[in-house]
């Protein structure tokens, strides 16, 4: 006995809505995935916040992280370009503040 594929199943499968598409306001087809721009916007905001926090604490760690996040966000084409540029500037300021404290105290730690 041989089994052959029939084309009668194809129209049946395509005409029935799937369970995952039932809750999407009648829209059929593959679900759209979130683009990289939304992720880049989050990276821009994160670089800004980390750059701000890095001015006060952990500038050796948070400065380069803020710079890297801002660079990736700008490369991915964020819609929050100004926020990413501020994060980049604050990350650089973190490293400048760290360099000033190291040259003043000859140590990486802050001393009051």
Q: Which helix (H) or strand (E) holds 86?
A: helix 81-105
- In tens, the pLDDT along 84-112 reads 999 999 999 999 998 988 888 777 766 55
| pLDDT computed for residue 37 by the predictor | 65
Q: Which position has the higher pLDDT, 46 or 36?
A: 46
Instruction: Give the per-residue SS3 of 57-79.
Output: CCHHHHHHHHHHHHHHHHHCCCC
Whether pTM > 0.75 for this model: the answer is no
Highest mean pLDDT among 2-6, 11-15, 49-53: 49-53
Are residues 105 and 81 in contact, defined by beta-carbon separation less than 8 angstroms?
no
């Amino acid at each position: 006995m041989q089994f052959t594929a029939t084309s009668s199943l194809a129209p049946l499968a395509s005409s029935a809505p799937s369970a995952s598409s039932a809750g999407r306001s009648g829209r059929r087809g593959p679900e759209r995935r979130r683009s990289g721009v939304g992720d880049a916007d989050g990276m821009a905001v994160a670089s800004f916040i980390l750059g701000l926090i890095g001015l006060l604490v952990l500038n050796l760690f948070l400065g380069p992280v803020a710079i890297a996040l801002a660079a990736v966000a700008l490369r991915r084409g964020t819609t929050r370009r100004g926020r990413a540029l501020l994060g980049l500037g604050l990350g650089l300021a973190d490293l400048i503040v760290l360099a000033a404290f190291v040259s003043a105290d000859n140590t990486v730690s802050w001393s009051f």
